[in-house]
Structure 1
Amino acid sequence: MRDRRRNQESEKRRQRSQGQRRIGVMGGTFDPIHHGHLVAASEVMDRFNLEQVVFVPAATQPFKAGREVAPAEHRYLMTVIATASNNRFTVSRVDIDRGGLSYTYETLRQLHAEDPEVEWYFITGADALESILEWKNAPELFELAHIIGVTRPGHVLGKAELPADSVSLLEIPALAISSSDCRERIRTGKPIWYLVPDGVVQYIEKYGLYR
């Protein structure tokens, strides 16, 4: 019954999509945001004909709870700096202002409630797709948005258990960059220029982040 309902909702989304606003949502810790995130958002925006992409920095991601991360306000401001040059990129405080653990279901439900006429596309790393069925209210995610998994070159994902009509994969070469590698380079005194937007590099240096 639940699978049938998901299929019906997916069909309704497809039927409504012509002439309907399409907006992408890229959630993440963005610790820090880097060019891989920006290229991925741009490629998805082009491939799926999206009007814009909304970046949503998490307050605390459930699967990363307990890991030390930069304060939410720093991550939010770095994301604002990184996206400022593209007028089709925006940044939302929805997760940060809600506080606590940031669940994708709650984020999408809130965005959908604020603008139910929008066709939402949730952008995430393909590696995260492997555990998406373990996320809070996972079945409802596929009703609230089309899920797009962006992959690094050579990444192999088995998505047999995921609803094919609600999930798409897109390979992004620039995703070879990772936030964890950027943090490690900073800790060891190596440069992150050209991996991270210039303004973000300067922000990190100004506030001594990731030292």
Structure 2
Amino acid sequence: MKRIGILGGTFDPPHLGHLIIANEVLAAQSLNEIWFMPNQEPPHKKKLNAISDEDRLNLLKLAIRNHPNFKVEQIELEREGPSYTYETMELLIEKHANTQFYFIIGADMIEYLPKWRHIDQLVEIVQFIGVQRPAYRTESIYPLLYVDVPEIEISSSLIRSRLREGKTIRYLVPDSVRDYIEEKCLYGT
């Protein structure tokens, strides 16, 4: 049985924190691959993607291109409306028989799990893996595996803010991501 980790998010833009989490979970849980799944419209926050879906997708592909076990899963970008994990995972399970999925979430989302749509059914079809994020707790009433990852306080909003202020993002994102952002004049650069 194939073991696939799913890391969802807006990836607006993708950064080294995303890559570190994915790599640590891949190794710690002996997964075959990590699929980065950019969402169309996260139900827990207002859609405010600063750039087009095409640019987010291109940035994500650039960010993961040097890792043979990292892939992009576009299922949520291809659907309209809010991206609910339960519906997405049902579709992925149907499409990929003989695959065990592990859904990777940060501690900020662990605290939010009780509010997820169909959470009781979701924990029956997918194994959650929680990772620590600064200033959040990881305790949950739901069954979670935990992976220790280096806590690096990088966020997409921090990167967008730094770009708007004309500050450097070197070493916060892969060089290929930074180059694409500058070339396309994204995020107010």
Which range, TM-score by smaller chain?
Answer: over 0.9
Structure 1 residues 100 and 75: CA distance shift in structure 2, 3 A: same
The answer to whether the 8 Å contact 1:95/1:107 transfers is yes
Partner of 2:179: 202
Query: Deviations 1:54-97 (Å, cap 9, x if unpaired)?
Result: 00000111112243532211111111110111110000110001
Q: Structure 2: how far apart are the matches of 1:36 and 1:62? A: 22
- The 3-state SS of whatever aligns with 1:183 is helix
After superposition, the CA RMSD in angstroms is 1.5
Give the TM-score, by structure 2 length.
Answer: 0.93
Partner of 1:39: 20
Q: Structure 1: how far apart are the matches of 2:174 and 2:71? A: 16
Give the TM-score, by structure 1 length.
Answer: 0.84
Is 1:193 the counterpart of 2:170? The answer is: yes
Amino acid in the other structure paired with 2:3: R
Alpha-carbon distance, 1:198 to partner: 0.7
Partner of 1:171: 148
Q: Structure 2: how far apart are the matches of 1:137 and 1:154? A: 27
Q: Structure 2: how far apart are the matches of 1:25 and 1:59? A: 15
Q: Which has the larger radius of gyration?
A: 1
Alpha-carbon distance, 1:173 to partner: 1.8
Deviates more, 1:43-52 or 1:166-175: 166-175
Is 1:64 the counterpart of 2:41? The answer is: no
Amino acid in the other structure paired with 2:31: L
- The 3-state SS of whatever aligns with 1:73 is helix
Q: Which runs of 5+ in 1 are unaligned?
A: 1-19
Q: Structure 2: how far apart are the matches of 1:85 and 1:155? A: 31
Amino acid in the other structure paired with 1:117: N
The answer to whether the 8 Å contact 2:15/2:155 transfers is yes
Structure 1 residues 125 and 148: CA distance shift in structure 2, 3 A: same
Deviates more, 1:141-150 or 1:189-198: 141-150
Q: Structure 2: how far apart are the matches of 1:66 and 1:92? A: 19
Say which of 72, 80, 85 aligns to 1:99. 80
Query: Deviations 1:25-68 (Å, cap 9, x if unpaired)?
Result: 11100011000100100100001010000000001111122435
Partner of 2:92: 111
Matches within 5 A, 1:155-166: 155-159=136-140, 161-162=141-142, 166=143
Partner of 1:145: 126
Q: Structure 2: how far apart are the matches of 1:34 and 1:115? A: 28
The answer to whether the 8 Å contact 2:107/2:131 transfers is yes
The answer to whether the 8 Å contact 1:30/1:75 transfers is yes
Amino acid in the other structure paired with 1:147: F
Partner of 1:76: 57
Structure number with the higher helix fraction is: 1
Q: Structure 1: how far apart are the matches of 2:8 and 2:155? A: 15
- The 3-state SS of whatever aligns with 2:104 is strand
